[in-house]
């Protein structure tokens, strides 16, 4: 046995390191190298697949959302311009007359509907106002877009949503709502399903309402509108009339505080309106207004300087001109001065006064007060006056007492306001006039003539044809008018009755006008259908209710100041002046 030499610890370590450096490292096995290469290849392949999948996804999204855009445009009707901020319409006190609320509208892509029969049946069940065949035809059409129902209610929206039918979709739109209902339908108007104004203020201010510039504040007072509407409805029903209308106006600014036309309609469902319901009698209708025209005839002759209030005219003998005869309804059979002609509503006296001043003066005056063109007010529905062409002497005579020329009730209100407010014509407006705002006006008669006309207005109520319009403390003045309606070339026994009232007449502030179309005899009027029995009492009732709301304080009618302001020096006043009954006006 050979004995190995012993090594120290340090020598052994050195020897080991030397041996390790003397032999190379053992190479990696072939299987390990293959596994590593495979793993790298799998990573690269996976990345390629991911990127390919992403590319395909992008293509699919593009094809789904955009590839059929041109096709959709071709099948789908032009997109309505959706306005999300159509302005409100409010009254002078901020009460809502019209506003918009967000709604959902239901449409479909027939290409995506799986079972048109089932879908149509379920939709008709959820929306009973739809017709099955109509819905089915839409769902089986070749179009890519069809409207099913616009402006769903929240309940309808939910009922369709829970059906979960493929191919049905909702689109956000807006629907117009009218909180007062039909109360001011002819003034406010209405919009279509595409949020476009189609009538009234909605149409006149359509661009402004859709511009996002805010609300439209009107001159209307919803409180007064309610009173006027209620009283007009009552008189139409009482006398079984074809219709009626009314106006309340501030004579100092031209603001329309209330305006009603009957029959009216629901602006929420304008398509349901029938016959004359959408017809605005105040602005669009033109009529022969009867004796209310004597307001303008009297103002014209007095302002001409050719005739004075004490001048007398023949009210005894009928006027024969050509094949026509002008006569009185209930004549006084005596000479009458200008004040008495107005008080007794004399046709003969009015005709002779008109001839005295002449046709050119009459035409010029009618033009000055705006009776030869539509009323300048913010409504699209305006009627053109009907005037004689050529303008003969017979026309001048009949126009003097309200026949042979047709104007709208708004014309009469505008002209009457100017006659009694000091002689200044203000354009009527449906927009609120702010305190301190300048109100442009044009003088049409002198202040002296206007004061004389106020006195004539008051006499008609205290001693003439409109006694039933008197309201103690409110100093009402006015003029009645009863016109025979014309059918074809002949006049009938059907009446158009109207009354224009102003209060307080010593310092005019407000005008109230009521017109009733073809009233029938009523026990309350003892069978009479003239304005003194039909229209004048309504104006009195309206004034009694709106006076306190407008802040008009009742006054002592017998005070020296009031008596002096309305005193007239027109000659002898006999008992005949006080013996006139409201049924005498015609």
Please say whether the beta carbons of 525 and 533 come within 8 A.
yes
**Which of 291, 350, 292 is closest to 326 using CA atoms?**
350
Does residue 562 carry a pLDDT above 90?
Answer: no
Dist. CA 538–CA 553, nearest whole Å:
20
> Helix or strand or coil: residue 397?
helix
* DSSP conformation class of 378: S
State residue 50's pLDDT score. Answer: 66
pLDDT confidence band for 563 (50 / 70 / 90)? confident
pLDDT confidence band for 40 (50 / 70 / 90)? confident
**Which of 189, 110, 103, 190 is closest to 150 using CA atoms?**
103
Dist. CA 285–CA 287, nearest whole Å:
7
Enumerate domains of the chain plus CATH numbers: 85-102+176-218 (3.90.1310.10), 225-584 (3.40.710.10)
State residue 66's pLDDT score. Answer: 45
What does the angle CA 276 – CA 412 – CA 314 come to, to the nearest 5 degrees? 120
| Least confident stretch, 355-364, 424-433, 553-562 | 553-562
* DSSP conformation class of 79: P
pLDDT confidence band for 84 (50 / 70 / 90)? low
Q: What are phi and psi of 191, to 5 degrees?
A: -120, 165
Does residue 7 carry a pLDDT above 70?
Answer: no
The terminus-to-terminus CA distance of the chain in angstroms comes to 165
pLDDT confidence band for 80 (50 / 70 / 90)? very low
Does residue 422 carry a pLDDT above 70?
Answer: yes
Please say whether the beta carbons of 419 and 448 come within 8 A.
no
Active site residues: 291
**Model pTM?**
0.79
| Least confident stretch, 102-106, 164-168, 359-363, 456-460 | 102-106
pLDDT confidence band for 241 (50 / 70 / 90)? very high
Q: Which two tokens stand for residue 353?
A: 């006064």
Alpha-helical regions (H) of 105-162 = 116-126, 132-139, 154-161
Dist. CA 586–CA 583, nearest whole Å:
8
Average pLDDT over residues 323-330: 87
**Which of 329, 321, 339, 182 is closest to 263 using CA atoms?**
182
Q: Could you give the count of Cα atoms lying within 13 Å of 399 in the half-sphere of its Cβ?
A: 28
Average pLDDT across the chain, whole number: 87
Dist. CA 417–CA 304, nearest whole Å:
19
HEC string for 533-582: HHHHHHHHHHHHHHHHHCCCCCCCCCCHHHHHHHCCCCCCCCHHHHCCCH
**Which of 206, 200, 203, 183 is closest to 86 using CA atoms?**
206
Q: Counting beta carbons within 10 angstroms of the beta carbon of residue 98, is it exposed (0 to 12), middle (13 to 18) or buried (19 or more)?
A: buried
Q: Which two tokens stand for residue 108?
A: 């479909």
pLDDT confidence band for 490 (50 / 70 / 90)? confident
493-551 pLDDT, tens digit each: 889 999 999 999 999 999 999 999 999 999 989 999 999 999 999 999 999 999 999 99
Looking at the DSSP bridge assignments, the partners of residue 407 are: 287
Residue-level length of the chain = 586
Q: What are phi and psi of 363, to 5 degrees?
A: -60, -45
pLDDT confidence band for 448 (50 / 70 / 90)? very high
Please say whether the beta carbons of 355 and 362 come within 8 A.
no
Q: Could you give the count of Cα atoms lying within 13 Å of 291 in the half-sphere of its Cβ?
A: 32
Q: Counting beta carbons within 10 angstroms of the beta carbon of residue 519, is it exposed (0 to 12), middle (13 to 18) or buried (19 or more)?
A: buried
**Which of 127, 267, 241, 198 is closest to 534 using CA atoms?**
241
Please say whether the beta carbons of 571 and 310 come within 8 A.
yes
Alpha-helical regions (H) of 401-551 = 409-420, 447-462, 531-549
Please say whether the beta carbons of 524 and 492 come within 8 A.
no
- Strands 146-152 and 442-443 turn out to be unpaired
- What crossing angle do the helices spanning 347-357 and 294-304 adopt, rounded to 10°? 40
Looking at the DSSP bridge assignments, the partners of residue 312 are: 337
Dist. CA 31–CA 559, nearest whole Å:
128
């Amino acid at each position: 046995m050979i004995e190995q030499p012993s090594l120290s610890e340090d020598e052994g370590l050195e020897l080991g390191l030397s041996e390790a450096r003397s032999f190379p490292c053992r190479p990696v096995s072939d299987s390990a190298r293959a596994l590593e290469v495979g793993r790298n290849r799998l990573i690269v392949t996976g990345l390629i697949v991911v990127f390919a999948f992403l590319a395909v996804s992008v293509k699919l999204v593009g094809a789904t959302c955009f590839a059929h855009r041109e096709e959709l445009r071709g099948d789908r009707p032009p997109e309505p311009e959706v306005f999300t901020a159509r302005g409100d319409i409010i009254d002078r006190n901020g009460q809502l007359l019209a506003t918009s609320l967000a709604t959902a509208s239901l449409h479909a892509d027939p290409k995506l509907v799986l079972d048109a029969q089932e879908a149509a049946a379920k939709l008709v069940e959820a929306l009973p106002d739809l017709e099955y065949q109509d819905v089915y035809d839409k769902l089986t059409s070749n179009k890519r877009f069809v409207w099913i129902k616009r402006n769903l209610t929240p309940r309808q929206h939910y009922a369709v949503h829970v059906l979960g039918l493929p191919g049905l979709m909702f689109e956000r739109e807006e629907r117009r709502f009218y909180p007062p209902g039909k109360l001011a339908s002819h003034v406010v108007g209405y919009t279509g399903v595409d949020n476009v104004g189609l009538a009234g203020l909605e149409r006149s201010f359509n661009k402004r309402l859709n511009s996002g510039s805010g609300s439209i504040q009107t001159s209307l007072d919803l409180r007064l509108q309610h009173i006027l509407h209620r009283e007009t409805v009552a008189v139409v029903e009482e006398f079984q009339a074809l219709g009626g209308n009314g106006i309340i106006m501030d004579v100092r600014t031209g603001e329309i505080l209330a305006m009603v036309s009957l029959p009216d309609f629901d602006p929420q469902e304008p398509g349901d309106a029938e016959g004359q319901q959408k017809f605005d009698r105040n602005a669009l209708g033109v009529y022969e207004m009867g004796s209310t025209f004597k307001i303008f005839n009297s103002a014209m002759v007095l302002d001409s300087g050719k005739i004075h209030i004490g001048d007398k005219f023949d009210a005894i003998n009928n006027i024969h001109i050509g094949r026509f005869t002008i006569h009185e309804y209930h004549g006084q059979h005596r000479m009458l001065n200008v004040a008495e002609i107005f008080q007794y509503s004399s046709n003969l006296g009015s005709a002779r006064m008109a001839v005295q001043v002449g046709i050119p003066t009459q035409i010029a005056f009618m033009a000055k007060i705006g009776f030869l063109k539509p009323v300048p007010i913010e409504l699209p529905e305006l009627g053109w006056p009907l005037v004689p062409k050529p303008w003969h002497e017979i026309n001048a005579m009949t126009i003097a007492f309200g026949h042979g020329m047709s104007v709208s009730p708004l014309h009469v209100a505008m002209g009457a306001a100017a006659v009694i407010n000091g002689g200044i014509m203000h354009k009527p407006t449906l927009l609120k006039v702010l305190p301190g705002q300048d109100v442009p006006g044009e003088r049409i008669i002198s202040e002296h003539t206007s004061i004389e006309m106020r006195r004539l207005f008051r006499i008609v109520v205290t001693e003439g044809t409109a006694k039933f319009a008197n309201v103690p403390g409110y100093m009402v003045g006015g003029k009645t008018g009863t016109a025979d309606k014309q059918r074809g070339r002949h006049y009938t026994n059907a009446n158009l009755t109207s009354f224009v009232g102003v209060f307080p007449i010593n310092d005019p502030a407000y005008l109230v006008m009521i017109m009733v179309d073809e009233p029938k005899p009523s026990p309350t009027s003892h069978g009479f259908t003239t304005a003194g029995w039909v229209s004048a009492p309504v104006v009195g009732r309206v004034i009694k209710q709106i006076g306190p709301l407008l802040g008009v304080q009742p006054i002592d009618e017998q005070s020296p100041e009031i008596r002096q302001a309305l005193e007239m020096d027109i000659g002898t006043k006999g008992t005949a002046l006080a013996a006139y009954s409201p049924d005498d006006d015609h």
